[in-house]
Amino acid sequence: MKRKWNSQFDDFLKENINRLSKDQIAITLGVKPSAVDSARVRLGLSTFNKWPSEDDRILLERAPHLTISGLASLLNRSEASVKKRVEQLGATPKPTPQIEKYSLTTEQKEFIISNRLTLSRKQIQKALGISRNHLIASLASHKIKIRRNAPYTDIDDSFLMENYITLGAKKCAEHLERTVSSISSRALTLNIRTGRNRKWSIEEDRFLAENINKIGPEQVGLNLRRSLSAVKQRMRLVGANQRLTREEVRFIEENYIIHGAEWVSRKLNVSPERLIRKAKRLGFHSVSRQLQDRDLQFISENYSTYGPHWIAERLSCTKQTAIEAAKKIGVSYTRARWTPEDDQFLLDNYRKRPIIELAELLFRTYKAIPTRHKKLTDKQIN
């Protein structure tokens, strides 16, 4: 509880204004610093010194025994201000011991020297289990130079030749565990022209216009061996990204909740994914609706493969509704575990095939492939 100012506080302030700081006086008297300032102005006293005499006394007494850091902690001040004041007073603080912050063992140093031309900096960092700053500082202190990226192998080059146009630099960088700029530079060296630089033929434009609403831009890009951005840019130029008509939107509004996304998508001849995105923009969400016979047939055919979440999206029902319906008709879903054969197949083909193709072959999602590969490579390094 803050105390009320009195005449005794006035006497204490007059005696110690040049010896103590404003905060120290406030703590001693149990008042706010603003109350100390108001009393100082009322009494006509000079302003507080940045360094009161008591702090100077402590600096002179303790400097030979404490470092700059220790003095700063003792006085609750910054190291820069303490260092400046010590120099002004002509005191000599205890020198800071020069400890080498980053160092390498003999084995680590030999490992770097033997692998500096074959492994990238990131791979060496993972193998040694040290931080990026630790590695950089250690290399500088030992005057060791390594390649920032491992040299491209024939397998890496063949992967770029086959997939750079389709996947683009970003996804190829994920595959090969390199930076996007490194992939782009290598593509220029190999003289690989991206989809944006290749001219579109009449047959490609026709395929785009006929199939964009059926299979989506990603599958169109895979079929035409063009990047997703190139497909989307061409869609805008040729007007292939036609919006749904008012009649189609009205049809969605009337039937989406009743019949579900799968049935409506077949009626409108559009992909279920596109229809689900459109329904969400219209404000439709999953509901606990009564499933029909065709919905139960759809569940029996796909539930064990894709699971309740995927089923709920396409039938426009809740996940719980899909689970209960699956129990009634006697189908179950078990999340597939990675077998040693799956892991070996992934390691053998990760740099040879696109992630999308690997996901289809292993019955996994797109994100599961690079995540699993990273876990496997980390295990091998450790």
At residue 377, does pLDDT exceed 50? yes
Per-residue model confidence as pLDDT tens digits over 123-166: 787 788 787 778 877 777 777 777 666 678 888 888 888 878 76
- Which structure tokens are listed for 176? 């090969």
- Which residue, among 101, 128, 131, 100, has the nearest Cα to 112 in the 3D structure? 128
Residue ranges of domains in the chain: 7-89, 154-190, 202-282, 291-334, 335-381
The answer to whether 142 and 107 have CB atoms below 8 angstroms apart is no
The 10s digit of each residue's pLDDT in 257-299 is 777 777 887 787 777 777 777 777 777 776 666 778 888 888 8
> What's the pLDDT at 99?
46
CA distance 315 to 260: 4
Per-residue pLDDT tens over the stretch 199-220: 788 888 888 877 777 677 777 7
- Give the angle subtended at the CA of 344 by the CAs of 339 and 350, to the nearest 5°: 120
In whole angstroms, give the CA distance from residue 10 to residue 36: 9
Task: Quote the tokens at residue 258.
Answer: 């009743």
Answer yes or no: are the C-beta atoms of 17 and 44 closer than 8 Å. Answer: no
Q: Cα dihedral angle (46, 48, 49, 52), rounded to 10 degrees?
A: 120
End-to-end CA distance of the chain: 58
